[in-house]
Amino acid sequence: MQKLSLDALAREQLERAAAAPNGRSATTVYGGHEHTLRQTLLALTAGTSLAEHDSPGEATLLVLRGRVRLTSADAEWEGRTGDLIAIPPARHALQALEDAAVILTVAKGD
């Protein structure tokens, strides 16, 4: 069994994001290419975004800290600490409205 502190990991990744030229940092929390489930902690400084990209499959975004905006062609969702957003199966983008840390959970299909 593996246990880790998401709070401590979020703090560490936010520090790395603040020091990075692109304002972001990420680390895999669980899973990988050999697993169906993959969880990644992403940290973004305020105003930083992930440009529009294709949906990775069935996925959710859990906001650990801060506020983010997830947008797709026809909808927009704002999430804050404690919110869980189901990522639409369409192209989408993510923007940090303030310094934010999120857990991206993806279940890849066969």
Domain ranges of the chain: 6-107
Q: Where are the beta strands (DSSP E) in 1-110?
A: 24-31, 37-44, 49-53, 58-65, 67-72, 75-80, 84-86, 92-96, 100-107
Residue-wise pLDDT for 58-86, tens only, equals: 899 999 999 999 998 888 999 999 999 99
Give the predicted TM-score (pTM) of the model.
Answer: 0.90
Q: For residue 37, what pLDDT is reported?
A: 87
For 6-107, give the CATH class: mainly beta
9-23, 49-63, 91-105: range with lowest mean pLDDT: 49-63
